[in-house]
Amino acid sequence: MSKKIIKITFFLLGGALLIFWITQLGLKNIFHTLGGLGLWTLALLGISLLWNLFYSMGWSLLIKNNKGFFRLLKIKIMSEAVALMTPFNFALGDPVRYFLIKSDKNETHGSAIVADRFIHTLASLFHVLIGLIALFIFHYGIPHFISAVLVSIYFLLFLFIAKACHLAFQGEDILLKRILEWSLLNRFIFFQRLKIKFLESISGLKEIGFSYPAFLLHWLGRFLGTIEIGCIFWYLYGSPHWLISLVLSSLTSVVHLFFSFIPGALGLVEGLYAAFFMLNGLNAQTGLAMQMIRRSRFLFWVLIGYLLFYLEVKPHPLRQHKKT
């Protein structure tokens, strides 16, 4: 019950922040920007489909004897829908992946999900670090002290995760056990059960091994987030502003990391975009509209994911007939 209260509280907090920004910056102007997307909508959905394809391709490289790429793509979309709408993100999304794929009765699947998560996290941190270094060099209205702190934090975090990843793929779980024991999530029963399953899966990582092609695919998936922002800039200003898009995508990931307890960092990312645009002499309403465009794409895939999940778990008449 307490978990539901926490989830609802944080979601309402994010919703209140979102409403605040919309009322401050003007609902009419924002919807005018959204309404003019036209064919750009297809381009943005195509980009987000591509990164789902890349993530699923990276995952498929880690699984032996899988039941087909499109099955993995479907599971990935379903699990991401759950992850994006809940606090703690992948801590709930990955168990959904395990639940959906365990019927394949392949012992490597649990370990492959853990390996995929390690590789995805490492690729994400690498991409964000590149963007933060660009922020430090080119400033973009953010004080150098703040950008230097962010670069330092992410560099240390990248090294730490890389070390944990190296040990995990060697079959060693001592460091990971300590990290999980320190986690604030230990008070939740679901996390304690997840921790046991996670540590059991570590033993299979040595056999799977670290996949550099999978790392590249995950990084390309993250880079497509930058491409998406660049395309929205192109729609709004007639130019993609690729470097600013890289910086903005990195700052978005920073907000999602530090405020993961709010589903989708609702309201906070909108505030980031509005503030970033103001600091760079751009229209804050346009910044908020940009994130609203991205939020609309986000909601589209959440709806697709939950629809697929419903069809997956819904009892099938033919299966019921066979049982009787």
Residue holding tokens 């909601």?
A: 299
Question: Is 127 or 204 the better-scoring residue by pLDDT?
Answer: 127
Q: pTM of the entire structure?
A: 0.83
pLDDT for the residue 309: 86
Reported as a single tens digit per residue, the pLDDT across 158-212 is 998 898 888 888 877 666 666 666 665 666 666 666 666 666 677 778 888 899 9
pLDDT for the residue 2: 54
Q: What distances in angstroms separate CA 176 from CA 64, 172, 182, 195, one per listed residue?
A: 25, 8, 10, 10
pLDDT at 122 over 70: yes
Residue 155: CB partners within 8 Å, gap ≥ 6? 129
Reported as a single tens digit per residue, the pLDDT across 130-153 is 999 999 999 898 888 999 999 999
Helix residue ranges per DSSP H, the chain: 2-25, 27-35, 40-60, 69-84, 90-101, 108-138, 144-169, 174-182, 189-202, 205-208, 212-237, 242-258, 268-279, 284-313, 317-323
**1: confidence class by pLDDT, cuts 50, 70, 90:** very low
Distance (Å, whole) CA 265 – CA 268? 6
Residue holding tokens 């709806």?
A: 303
Could you tell me if 30 and 289 are in contact, meaning their C-beta atoms sit under 8 angstroms apart? yes
Q: Residue 285 corresponds to which tokens in the numbers above? A: 């309403």
Could you tell me if 242 and 230 are in contact, meaning their C-beta atoms sit under 8 angstroms apart? yes
Residue 181: CB partners within 8 Å, gap ≥ 6? none
Q: Residue 150 corresponds to which tokens in the numbers above? A: 């962010």
Burial of 22 (0-12, 13-18, 19+ CB in 10 A): middle
pLDDT for the residue 258: 78
pLDDT for the residue 317: 53
- What 3-state class would DSSP assign to 321? helix
Could you tell me if 293 and 34 are in contact, meaning their C-beta atoms sit under 8 angstroms apart? yes
For the chain, the average pLDDT equals 81
Reported as a single tens digit per residue, the pLDDT across 180-194 is 666 656 666 666 666
Could you tell me if 293 and 41 are in contact, meaning their C-beta atoms sit under 8 angstroms apart? no
**223: confidence class by pLDDT, cuts 50, 70, 90:** very high
Reported as a single tens digit per residue, the pLDDT across 33-67 is 767 888 898 999 999 999 999 999 999 999 876 66
**DSSP structural state of residue 102:** G
Question: Is 198 or 251 the better-scoring residue by pLDDT?
Answer: 251
Reported as a single tens digit per residue, the pLDDT across 309-320 is 888 877 655 455
